[in-house]
Amino acid sequence: MDQLDLQGRFATLTTAHVADACIRAGVQVRCAPTQVRAVVPGTRLAGQVAPARHVGSVDIFLEVLHDADPGTVLVVDNGGRLDEACVGDLVAWESQAVGLEGIVIWGLHRDTADILEIGLPVFSLGAIPSGPQRLDRRPGDALTSARVGDWTVSSDDLALGDDDGVIFLPAARADEVFSLAQGIRDTERRQAERIRDGLSLREQVRFGEYLSRRETEPTLTFREHLRAVGGAIEE
């Protein structure tokens, strides 16, 4: 899936649709920790991961950007540190100049006013004035993988971000997951329209029938019932 196709398909979806579709497809749901948020609310991004493990110097990012394809997302692993910013305005400017889609940081940023001016989508744990005051040994996999919260991602993954946060998706499963997500989106839109027209969600998903069945089938789950009646409000 090329970048234009990826952006086009994600444009009418949310990360919530994608997360639900991952469940249905049997793909592990890999969300960045909830604290990773867009610097500018309403920001969206979608692109292939370009990983970088920060060790205290900006050269690691310049090396990534030297070879990065337009439309990729720089994913920075700074170990979730809250005592230093690892990305500032110059990295944002350079990322925009080479055509990157945006930046996701497992750590902090700085130069917020400049980043707002640049307009490049940046997701991080927040801001702090201080930059790094260290220079650690660079690991051998510094440019092949990055950790964000509980997850390790690589160039085999896509990063998708919106107001709900960031989710990572195996690129090889993207077409399947997006198709499922579009179906979930369409079902939920129809359900919302019917609620506005006066037909309650309980009626739509035949909730009374579910309660009756559960009396004789105690192990029946609501998700099993939803699948049987074509609902998609949970996944």
Q: Residues marked as binding for substrate? A: 88-91, 110
Give the Cα separation of 92 and 57 in Å (integer): 15
| Binding-site annotation: residue ranges | 88-91, 110-111
Give the Cα separation of 124 and 39 in Å (integer): 7
User: How far, CA to CA in Å, does 2 sit from each of 76, 175, 215?
Assistant: 22, 11, 50
Give the Cα separation of 123 and 126 in Å (integer): 8
HSE on the CB side for 86, CA within 13 Å? 31
In contact, 201 and 195? CB cutoff 8 Å: yes
Where helices occur in 48-88 by DSSP H, the ranges are 59-67
| Binding-site annotation: residue ranges for Mg(2+) | 111
Q: Which amino acid is residue 204, in one-letter code?
A: Q
Burial of 106: CB neighbours in 10 Å, binned 0-12, 13-18, 19+? buried
Give the Cα separation of 159 and 178 in Å (integer): 13
Paired tokens of 216: 């004789």
Paired tokens of 27: 């793909």
